[in-house]
Amino acid sequence: MVNYTNRVMTALEFAMGHEIAWPDRQERAVNSAHFAGLGFPGCIGLVDGTLVKLSQRPHDDGETCSDRKSNYSIMYMLFATRTSASYTFSLECMVVATT
């Protein structure tokens, strides 16, 4: 399982530099007009996310990867525009307050 986790993280790091990009100014304007027509003025896209559970504590800064359910996890997010979906990934663990 650890080998698969490392391979996925390596692939995501590569994708962040090559496949994932924020819409340019023109695309944001087109998206904004599209979503305004749907009743969401000023919106350029939709975002959703989830935590992906890790099989074990990460070696580096593992204590910062504990989620609200005390699992080790990383954040995975999806940004969708009017015509396509772009995946963004937080490769840093997030500290989640458990109050």
Nearest to 19 by CA among 91, 88, 93, 90: 88
pLDDT for 99 beyond 50:
no
Q: Which backbone phi and psi does 18 adopt, to 5 degrees?
A: -125, -35
Query: What pLDDT is recorded for position 97?
Result: 40
Whole-angstrom distance, CA of residue 94 vs CA of residue 73: 8
Q: pLDDT digit string (tens) for 9-57?
A: 777 777 666 666 677 899 889 889 988 998 989 888 887 777 888 888 8
Nearest to 76 by CA among 46, 47, 97: 47
Domain ranges of the chain: 2-89
User: Is pTM beyond 0.75 here?
Assistant: no
Selected residue with higher pLDDT from 96 and 49: 49
Q: pLDDT digit string (tens) for 47-91?
A: 777 788 888 887 777 777 788 888 888 777 777 777 665 544 444
